[in-house]
Structure 1
Amino acid sequence: MENPFNPSFGKMPSVFLNRDSLTQRIVTELNRVGSPFQTSLLYGQRGSGSGKTTLMTEVSNLISKDKNWLVINLVLDDDLLLSLINQLQRHLLNLKIIKNIDLKMNFFGLDRSAIFHQQTESNFQLLFQDALEKLTKKGFHVLINTDEVHLTPLLKKFASCYQIIIRTNLNVSLLMAGLPENVSEIQNDDVLTFLLRANRIVLNPLDIESIKNSYQYIFSKAGYTFCTETLLYMTKQTQGFAYTFQLLGYHLWEEIIHSSNKTISISDITNILDIYISELNRNVYFKVYSDMSEREKEFVQAMVKSKQHKAKSQVIGNLMEKGPNYIAVYRRKLIDD
């Protein structure tokens, strides 16, 4: 029997923890005139598997069922503006709103696509607005998705043009997802302060009860049983994150699927904790730690050295040989991050 769990980042798992109410609310709001959801910033912690990409995929899949909605997925690279215009052009062609245009035909011996690439950035706002005007006139709505956002010159240009265009009441919405610190940097940029008024969707840890019920349902469907103590123990290991739910479930499935014993015990779970924690460290915590400043690393090292489950600021200060004001600054910064 195929493993139903998928801990791969960015892929739609076959087992998706229920965020249907949030997905449905986003789609409902996008269909409402004047909704603050027209421009939304979606964020959650790095690698913790808060489900940013998966939720964005769910929203896209659901809204695409409406024939009047068109979804454009953008990758934040050097071709950002070109990709957006190309995708809009493709929709205009497929819907027969404009006549067929061959972007690869030669123009005086030159590749027209190369000319188009050169002209797109300088004329981006006009091309963007013209395409949206044609689509809006025909009753179509456009949802633009951008994942893993961070501040770049091209993103600033795109967002600045988007700000101007939404004032003209064209049918376009924007959903951007990223890490809290990257979203904050974008919102506080001098040119993009309008995003401070954008709707924020924060993906906090999941409801523990949902995780527990999901594990019980999935393994019961495969013929396995848990006692309450074992189920709670397994659920607690995830700490409420979508990625850890998938990762732990994946390794437990691989551990027991060939066993004739259909009762899952705590020992089955403890048998996989080493590999589970190892992958969690490699895929999440090492990355989080490596992104810290040297002072922040010293702070968390002092937390470990305190050997306390909840390290007090005074203890951390003593270990770092720093005063309360210094400790308070880095404590607040780490909490914000």
Structure 2
Amino acid sequence: MHQSVIRRTLAAGASAAVAVTGMAAFTAPATAATSGPVPFTCQVPVLGERSFTLVADTNLPEKVEKGKAVAVSFTATVTAPDNVRGGATLFGTSVEGTAKVVAKAGTQNLPVTANVALTTIPTTPNTELVLPVSGSTTWTPTTLGTQQITLPSFEATLSFPQAGGAPRELGPITCAAAAGASTVVDTVEVVESATTPPTTPPPATPGVAQATKTTSTVKYKKKAKKAVVKVAVANADGTAAAGKVKVVMKKGKKKATSTVTLNAKGKGKAAFKKIAPGKYKLTVKYTGSDASKKSQKKSNVKIK
């Protein structure tokens, strides 16, 4: 898991919360080295220009596959110094909020949605304000190789609940990285997708005959008094069986017999002439081969 730490001085608790929201989604694994402080300049309504300090963590692995969507979740905390805490108390006793962040993976934009959890603002002087943040996004990598995850800017709105009334909002708060500052918060390797080969039946064991299935259909040509029996024989692995099929049509004591040689698709047909309308018993017997076991199909056929 990648982890990065971005430190700054935040003069407004509101801006701090917002910054965390965006950065949290894109930090390096816990096993990787942390990044250095990245300065951001935030324009906060009423409070003016501010800066902040951020610690974040994400579930991004070291490698991801090109073309496959990756769900990225994160948690973070932003710590604001005492002067920020003091300014936040002018808006309320607690704070929460949302942020819209457009981070980047290489040249790809990664829109992130995040929430600042409701947090009580400390009233004790010389106390830091710590804000927990969580959020998520989805990334579908399009470029192979090492991709840097960066956070050049974000925008947020903070809300301060009021007892017995509507909350006071502060926003939009717009933040941009200071000129010349590195905004890299994570590095991920994008690799080729491991394609899953199509499922195919296991090959037949040499010298062992497979089970087979024999099927048949009958078509009667009334004017010609001709019955055509189509047969097909398939091995258990789906391949065509080879060999011969004996077809018998029987009505009472009378019967007609024909032997069919299967083609490369395991199919064949037998034609019976002078077949009068009536009920027949049809038996189709596949005689088998070295690679395929015998099988048969019996059915009752009504010719009309």
Instruction: Provide the TM-score with structure 1 as the length reference.
Output: 0.17
Higher relative contact order (CA 8 A, sep 6+): 1
Name the one with the larger strand percent. Answer: 2
